[in-house]
Structure 1
Amino acid sequence: GKIIDNGSGHFSLLFLASVIIYGVLSVKLSSKLIWIFTLVSFGIWFATETAYHSNWGFRFWGMNYPLRFTLFGALLTAFALVWQQRIKPIAPFTSLTYIIGLTYLMVALWLLSIFGNYSDMDKWSEVRQWHIFYWGLLSTAISLGVAWYGLKRQDYIAREFGIIFLIINLYTRFFEYLWDNINRTVFFLLLSVSFWYIGRWAERIWSGKEKKPYKSVD
């Protein structure tokens, strides 16, 4: 670390080195586990590199961490879907890249729907959730789109991610907008009814689709 760092605090180069090392090892050893470490290290490098260029602040080019990782996850997912299979040495890891890319994307979108593009927690705490409603709408719409894509293309990875994060988003909005605005008894009654309805809806989807063979991106 001291060899690379010349006093600038640019230690993200260490994570970049780990990405390269893990990437080479995963190809040489045909190890999916090491490829996971590669992509996790890649995410850490991205976070620290953008933080370094923003003088270790929480905003980079006007984006906070959730918004940055939304773009990062989208690009990683697109890479898995469009380009990775064309690169022979890393083609066997396409599904893993796809899964981790979607994980980055969907988790970041969910956090973005809660915190918006705020980087100051004090300012965020003063803002009513409906002021950042559009981020929640975007997160829900993308979750729905991913689920639809999975069902349409018989892609079980996209289907699972889309449905799970659609439900997470809906319940997040449920708590955000109703917890302080309606009677607690009514709140939990609606919550229990929604659990029953969504459970039946999900069961119909899974039972109906499990009869068909689903394909992945490999």
Structure 2
Amino acid sequence: MASLPHHYPQLSLHLADRSLTPLVTSSSPSSSSPSSSSRHDALARLASSALGVHDAASRLGLGAPQRVLVEYGPRGPLLIQTFLDPATAGAIAPRRPGRQWPAPAGSSNSGGRRAVNGDYDRRDDGDQRAAYETPHTDDQAHDNETEPDALPPDVPPMLLGVIIAPSPDEYSSARRATVRLERIGRQIQESWVAEGGQPRP
């Protein structure tokens, strides 16, 4: 787990639970380097904002988001937030095969596809919008969602990940890192269940 950030030194990676305890991270809070400490604080704040996005989407009846992609200008950095929520179906199961991610507008592998306000050209309808999909989108599904504190004791805690790429050129690496970070998160959740769990934060 700890070796994942070393495979992607150009990216910033962070995996945490709802209490924002880091499980995998590119920087250590105990580092004596001011820049490393500042980087860790920034990742922790982004994890906190990701948790706010998840909870706000649920309160608004939008369902539980799976991933959120944020672009900062044509050549700016990319931010990916990913959520492993046990309250939604398939949270521990891998993503469905055949799903593709929409490429950011400034990336070299965009294939001419551009996003405007999160909606892609209708010619790319379907797979190309996977990063914006949620497992529940109607009010009834939202009403049936379970709050974290009401989950059965054998359900693992929700985990959330933050992946930052310095530019659209690193988008492919960011996608691969996201998938691997999600895989690690699911392994943590599965181990949590297998070992009988721990007190929920």
Do both share a fold (TM > 0.5)? no
Q: Which has the higher strand share?
A: 2
Q: TM-score, normalised by structure 1?
A: 0.23
Larger radius of gyration: 1
Q: TM-score, normalised by structure 2?
A: 0.24
